[in-house]
Chains A and B, each alone.
Chain A
């Protein structure tokens, strides 16, 4: 079966980013396809490579990046939500005249159309948030 995942809440807030990750990993384990993980609202904060959690804590963005690499999962940040919150890839940073980007490996910036597309392509769209 094809799954789309929507994450509406930032990491280390309540539990949505963790629940979404564990669900996605379990779905892949069961042999399902993840069409896309779409990060919206504060969920875009999952995609920063500058997060430095304590050593005995989970690293949420690295965990997503590892999942993306191992299973070729598409991780998409909503562009408008990302720009507002200072989540920039190389092109966006250059365009906005910023001195650096902060996108974690495996994450990409795209538009809300990708969420609609995930809803159309996937058999199930599972929403995690606050």
Chain B
């Protein structure tokens, strides 16, 4: 049996319809229509211990709702989720002890107190040996470069600084599972890199299972081996990053540079001109043609002085997959 099992998970929300304007608002006081939104529809997947999975999908796809069910906050409408023999929403507190969660757009910090106070709270919440906890505090303070603002009231911190603190908090008690829901919002380039490296090393050293939800595909490429994509509550893809590329990849692009004037472009099958500038072309090659064949063909036809092959970035593939 896998470490995390999600079977036919569904979650419906009841949404009150609101009509426009004041009259609509008044009308809704007396009579209200509800629509049922299926936020998560029959999603199943399983994860082994130590897997790092990117959980992606466009806005409102149901990612956060899935994570909330896995972390025991929400009860599914039907179906089941199991995290290491515990059903999270039936045994919220037990489950909470072994997970670390970051919801990117929310904070777990005391608004009026410094971060160090929230650290104290978490130290007492989890039954982690004190020494170990302190060591983690020092480690993440150092790693995420938080020393300078550790003793400032949280309300005076920037978005990125708060995010760092929230990430640290999720990791202080050595959780077995990490749910990261958009953990890189507001982080600068350096911090993003640090976080990605940290996640990789935590996963390698402690076999921490990680589910990462993000819109930043660089996060996914940097840390995840596996990708699960959902849209409108339904699972669309589940497999390795490589498989994802193969499934949704639509060829690659070749940039051709010319010394003088451009030759005339002739449209032919599987080759499409994407971009044209004074001295270069960008050509899209599809239809499973190998880059070697494409290069030979393009050189033979147009004789460029330089030629670069670019594999499509995950981000572009995802954009197309979202449709």
Partners in one complex: no
